[in-house]
Homo-oligomer: A and B are copies of this chain.
Amino acid sequence: MTRTDPRPAAARKADVLAGLTVPVTDAWVATAAAAEPYLVPLTLAWLREHIVLATDGRSRTATNLTDSGVARVALGTTRDVVMIDAVLTETIPVAEAPSWVADGYAASTDWDPRKTGGSYVYLILRPDRIQAWREENEIADRTLMRNGTWLV
């Protein structure tokens, strides 16, 4: 196996931001109700330092987030991980979304939820903790944001 040196924190932050902004960014979004985990892939946009998701307001992701307020969101691959613990700040029905959300989402992704249906919502999430790691040697310094503040 080829081993590479651990990336400096600044390089990891740059990789995280690249991952969040490259078109199109898909993420694994984990939510929960009581002790029951839920997990689905969703397409995200990174707008105004927030993760913006779009899904049916009746979906388990939306109802779990509305009830619990927290999600754990993974980007990348299992061996090049970006892991984001995030907090729901707002849920906006697609028809009521401001331009920076609705046009921003459509411009960053490959679909426009406004064309999908009336029950769709944008979920606006504020990152609270961001971690990034590839191999074992990057585990120790994997935390790049804590309590919503970049450490680098």
- Residues in A lying within 8 Å of B, measured CB to CB: 1, 26-28, 30-41, 64, 67-68, 70-72, 74, 77-79, 81, 83, 110
Contact = CB atoms under 8 A, between A and B. Distances in A.
A71 B83 CA distance: 18
Given A41-B74, A41-B81, A81-B41, A32 B28 contact: no
Contacts of A81: 41
Nearest to A64: B35
A28 B78 contact: yes
Given A32-B36, A35-B34, A41 B79 contact: yes
A1 to B, nearest CB: 8
A68 B28 contact: no
B30 A37 contact: yes
A35 B64 CA distance: 8
A87 B80 CA distance: 27
A33 to B, nearest CB: 6
Contact of A35 (B39, B67, B77): B67
